[in-house]
Amino acid sequence: MASTLKVDTIQTNDGTGTIALQNQLSGMTTTSLPAGAILQTVNFVSTNNQVTSTSSTFAATGEEITITPSSTSSKILVIAVWCAHINESSDSQAEGEFKLVGTASGDLMLHRYQNYDYGGSGLGLTTTQNMTVLDSPSSTSAQTYAIHYRLIDGASIKVGKGNMKTNMIAIEIKG
């Protein structure tokens, strides 16, 4: 047998706040939470199936996530996972780089991606790539974290392949 509880107001244990009927906390703040508490999470799953570059200059992939910290002391943990593909040219070597760029902090992490084919067949390599960074933006403005890429040697570098999509998570942690 199902039960239904109907009340006008739910009061906190110490009487300092109430829980509104819309499930929102009134009169309570995150100041009572300890440092290290998770304040919010944002998730991004790409709609791009593939972006390709042949440039040796870093360019945005279009894969990015935005989060707005609630405090200047907050830390932002960014986790990015994506499928990468690099094609060799005739010299049997391919090399590219990925970097994670933040609004307030600029370049946060650089990752080199290489493929060597000693047989010289010109094959490409597809792998899963990832970056995990803890940022301290010292801001309450919206922070965007984006994956950039460039080709160092080879025919092309790609993010995404087929139905493999980029997944990014940004987590605000109380400082």
pLDDT tens track for 66-82:
999 999 999 999 999 99
pLDDT tens track for 140-149:
999 999 999 9
- Going by C-alpha positions, the residue among 97, 79, 70 that lies closest to residue 135 is 79
CATH class of residue range 30-173: mainly beta
**With a threshold of 0.85, does the pTM exceed it?**
no
Q: Which residue has the tokens 């993010």?
A: 159
Residue 41 has pLDDT above 70, yes or no: yes
Q: What is the mean pLDDT of the chain?
A: 85
Question: What average pLDDT does range 32-45 have in this prediction?
Answer: 93
Domain-wise residue ranges, the chain: 30-173
Q: Which residues pair with 25 in a beta bridge?
A: 19
Among the residue ranges 44-48, 52-56, 115-119, 142-146, the one predicted with the least confidence is 115-119
